Structures are given as structure tokens and as C-alpha cells.
Amino acid sequence: MSEVKVVPRGLLVDWGGVLTSGLEEALRRWAELDGFDFDSYLQAVLAWLPAESPEGATAEAELNPAHALERGQIAVPDFERKLASILVRRDGTPVPAEGLIERMFAHFEHQPAMSALVRRARSHGIRTALLSNSWGNTYPRDTWDGMFDDIVISGEVGMRKPEPEIFLLAARRLDLKPEECVFIDDLELNVDGARAVGMTALLHTSYDETRRVLETLFGADLT
């Protein structure tokens, strides 16, 4: 007996790197203006990455401030101080901690074509949701009117991508099963996490490619 194919009815999209310009481009600009080497930032953050810990998220929060920030386990000023303490400007002076997150996210540029794509999908009756890992940054929510049926921000729900629970929560909020959802992200790790719970997931590389794949999946003209 052939397996019945599930037709997707929901679209979950990431923010940074999908609805905005790429992460690396924006962060390199931040590093340039703040006067430190971008590669040293990467090395510092990667050094926080722990091995899998049997103690779970609480223990990991002590080891990885970035993941803790995404879950809302530490306050933005505390994270800014932690990150600033391991960054050194090229002239040897410390990077100012206050306002660090605001400066970090100042160079993410809105991608209107991607936002319009989500809106067109919703106009076809496809349920839509934002699913984003937050670093305590401000989102342009005033531009999202009529765009999403639900918004899932990691720090507001106490979990982060690629943890399975956050994908399941996003699907549940749309009143859909995971296998009825299509998820778009610019990070392979998160794409793999969505697939692990049964979602169809695609790695975003360009507007044209993402549109073509979505049109095939949903059987809708999204031009």
C-alpha cells in the first residue's frame, strides 16, 4: 500500500539571514566599526560551545552564554559584558559592553522580496509563523502586520533552535502537525533540527531558489 503524501499547510520562517541580509555580512560590518577582528569574535564564541551535557540546559547555560541568551536564561546586559570581556580591539582597548547587541544587529538589512513571499503564501491560505532565535535584539514587528499567524521568539518561549521542542511548539501554535509544516532557515543545523521532527525544511540561499521550492511544495504560484 502506497504512503499517503502529506500536503504542507504551514510555513515557518527564520528572521536573520532569511528575512534579512546574511548574518556574516552584517556581523563583519559590526566588527569593522567596533574595531576588532571578526575571526577573533568567531573563535571566542565557538570556545563557548560545550560538549553534550547530561545535566541539560541549566548546566549548558553556564558554559554557553549565547545559547543561554537565546533561551532567555540570562539578561542582555550580562551577556554583553561576557562577550565584551573576550573581545579586544585592534588598538588594544576593550570593546564597550553597553549597547553591544544593538550595534551587532544594526547592519541586518530588510529583504522586502522575502517578506512579500511570505505574505503571498499567506494570501493562498498557507498558515505562517516566524521562528527565530533571539539575542535580545529588537525585531521590526511594526512591519509584520498581516504577515504571520503566530510569532515564536526563542527568548520568549525558553527554548531555542535546533531543540525539537521549539519546532513542535511552532507547529502546534498553527494547529498543524510537524509534517504539515515547511521550515526555512539559513543555518544547516536548524534545518536538520526541523527535519528531525518531521518537517520539510530547506536551507535558504536565495529568494529565487526558495520561491521555486515553495511553489513546488505548496502547489501555488508565489510570483
Residue 127 and residue 99 share a domain: no
The pLDDT confidence band at residue 4, using thresholds 50, 70 and 90, is low
Domain termination residue (choose one: 76, 104, 132): 104
Domain tally, the chain:
2
Least confident of 26-40, 114-128, 158-172: 26-40
Q: How far apart are alpha carbons 94 and 24 in whole angstroms?
A: 22
Residue that is last in its domain, among 53, 87, 104 = 104
The yes-or-no verdict on residue 76 having pLDDT over 90 is yes
- Give the tens place of pLDDT for each residue, 190-214: 999 999 999 999 999 999 999 999 9
Domain that includes residue 100, residue range: 23-104
On whether residue 34 sits in a domain, the answer given is yes
30 and 97 part of one domain? yes
What was the pLDDT predicted at 115? Answer: 97
Q: At what angle do helices 188-196 and 164-173 cross, to 10 degrees?
A: 70
The letter for the amino acid at 113 is A
For the chain, give the percent of residues with pLDDT over 90: 81
Same domain for 34 and 70, yes or no, is: yes
Helix (H, G, I), strand (E, B) or coil at 3: coil
**Both 117 and 145 in a single domain?**
yes
Query: How far, in Å, CA of 187 to CA of 59, rounded?
Result: 24
User: Looking at 84, 104, 124, which one is the last position of a domain?
Assistant: 104
What average pLDDT is seen over the chain? 91
Is 3 part of any domain?
no
The answer to whether 132 and 156 are in contact (CB under 8 A) is no
End-to-end CA distance of the chain: 36
Q: What is the CATH number of the domain that holds 202?
A: 3.40.50.1000
Residue 4: inside a domain, yes or no?
no
Question: In the prediction, which pLDDT does 209 show?
Answer: 97
Please compute the mean of the pLDDT values over residues 130-143 and round it to a whole number. 94
> Residue type for 171, please?
A
Quickly tell me which residue has 550580562 as its cell.
Answer: 78
